[in-house]
Structure 1
Amino acid sequence: MSPETTHRILLAGIGNIFLGDDGFGPAVLGRVAAGPLPTGVRAVDYGIGGMHLAYDLLGDWDALILVDAVPGRGNPGAVRVFEVDPGKTGIATQLDAHAMDPGSVFASVEALGGTLPRTIVVGCQAACVAEGIGLSAPVAAAVDGAIEAIGRLLSELGADAPERCRTVGSEG
């Protein structure tokens, strides 16, 4: 990619590693961030630091890829990729420094005077978010699929996907 087409993309993992499958975002980010990333891509494991993510989103980002566990409404381990509708983020009128769910983070960005960039979620259906460290078997098995989805998204957003995010046999 030429320098004049470089996009600024924030790849953010969120979740609590002490609540089982809620640690999906940090598990994926740990793998993706283990090596070099394309120019303009920043990968951060925010854990439960919702305000940190909100403040970082006040920067000049072209896109946000948010990696998180999603509530139990389907098959555990199923990976879903969907775009957030900026008009339907559940915007609150006040800041909540302790809230970490994506809606609260998005509300905080807007309460701070910012605007969300294009936001895409790579979510994995959680099986268990009870106290405990480690992902359930179906969610752990979904990490590779989420990493491949991130690679596809980075390419679609104008960044070259790192080798570790490419599907076997894919180009580019």
Structure 2
Amino acid sequence: MDACTPEPPCHRSGDNAVIVLGIGNLLWADEGFGVRCVERLQRDWELPGVALVDGGTQGLYLIQHVQAAERLLIFDAVDYGLAPGTLHEVRDDEVPQYLGAKKMSLHQTGFADVLALARLTGRYPRSVVLIGCQPEELEDYGGSLRASVRTVLPQAVARGLDILRGWGVAAAPRTRALDSAEAVTLPHLAIERYEAERPSADDACRVGDARFFPERS
């Protein structure tokens, strides 16, 4: 290769790092799907050699995780134009297209940029899999997953486990209690506590106050 010709992007090798990344915002209804998947994986399974990450809406700050991964599994709410609660899996070069084609919130375009930047730096995962779920409701600040999305969490996690096992991860049901310091989500945002303690829609308007946001005729 000529010295003036830039080297093409290459895959990482040697450390075989497996990273599972949940993207989204727990405070905006079905936007929390990705993080809830990672939370449930950690709650129910022991995954030696796997790093679980609550990516939230960190955007470009997630570059270090992508660059460190040999294999990257992503959970996210994605607008596929399908029925709410529908799961759809895409792999490798198709992943950025789905994370950037139909922007639902700031984090998606940001993460598509993260993948592009990782490729430009030559530190890109060998395998990337996105397990996306079609959301039902996003415009509900302080709300939680809708039933159509929450119902498929076990199915999404099961599919994620199949992928991890295919990558050689020796997944086993959790026998050791999870220390709160290890938890991917803060204790007060864990789904059981969040559901039990958040105000109802009657006590805290989450979709806009009609006095200030009147309906359009």
TM norm. shorter chain > 0.5: yes
Residue 28 of structure 1 deviates from its aligned partner by 0.9
Q: Is the 8 A contact 1:86 1:116 kept in 2?
A: no
Question: Which residue in the other structure is 1:79 paired with?
Answer: 87
Question: Using a 3 Å threshold, how does the CA distance of structure 1 residues 55 and 124 change in structure 2: closer, same or farther?
Answer: same
Question: Which residue in the other structure is 2:59 paired with?
Answer: 50
Structure 2: which amino acid aligns with 1:71? D
Structure 2: which amino acid aligns with 1:27? R
Question: Which residue in the other structure is 1:108 paired with?
Answer: 117
Question: Which residue in the other structure is 2:157 paired with?
Answer: 147
Runs of at least 5 residues in structure 1 that lack an aligned partner in the other structure: 1-5, 91-97, 165-172
Distance in 1 (CA, whole Å) between partners of 2:153 and 2:73 is 15
Residue 36 of structure 1 deviates from its aligned partner by 5.5
Residue 18 of structure 1 deviates from its aligned partner by 2.1
For the residue of structure 1 that corresponds to 2:67, the secondary structure is coil
Count of aligned residue pairs for this structure pair = 151
Q: RMSD of the TM alignment (CA)?
A: 2.5
Residue 73 of structure 2, aligned match among 56, 65, 68: 65
Please say if 1:158 is aligned against 2:168: yes
Distance in 2 (CA, whole Å) between partners of 1:45 and 1:159 is 20
Residue 80 of structure 1 deviates from its aligned partner by 1.5
- Scaled by the length of structure 1, what TM-score is found? 0.76
Distance in 2 (CA, whole Å) between partners of 1:8 and 1:157 is 10
For the residue of structure 2 that corresponds to 1:66, the secondary structure is strand
Distance in 2 (CA, whole Å) between partners of 1:44 and 1:124 is 18
Most deviating of 125-134 and 19-28? 125-134
Structure 2: which amino acid aligns with 1:141? T
Question: Which residue in the other structure is 1:170 paired with?
Answer: none
Question: Using a 3 Å threshold, how does the CA distance of structure 1 residues 106 and 89 change in structure 2: closer, same or farther?
Answer: farther
Structure 2: which amino acid aligns with 1:82? V
Question: Using a 3 Å threshold, how does the CA distance of structure 1 residues 86 and 126 change in structure 2: closer, same or farther?
Answer: closer
- Scaled by the length of structure 2, what TM-score is found? 0.62
Runs of at least 5 residues in structure 2 that lack an aligned partner in the other structure: 1-14, 99-105, 175-217
For the residue of structure 1 that corresponds to 2:171, the secondary structure is coil
The sequence identity of aligned pairs, in percent, is 25
Residue 117 of structure 1 deviates from its aligned partner by 3.2
For the pair shown, the structure with the greater C-alpha radius of gyration is 2
Q: Is the 8 A contact 1:72 1:126 kept in 2?
A: no
For the residue of structure 1 that corresponds to 2:76, the secondary structure is strand
Please say if 1:12 is aligned against 2:21: yes
Q: Is the 8 A contact 1:99 1:105 kept in 2?
A: no
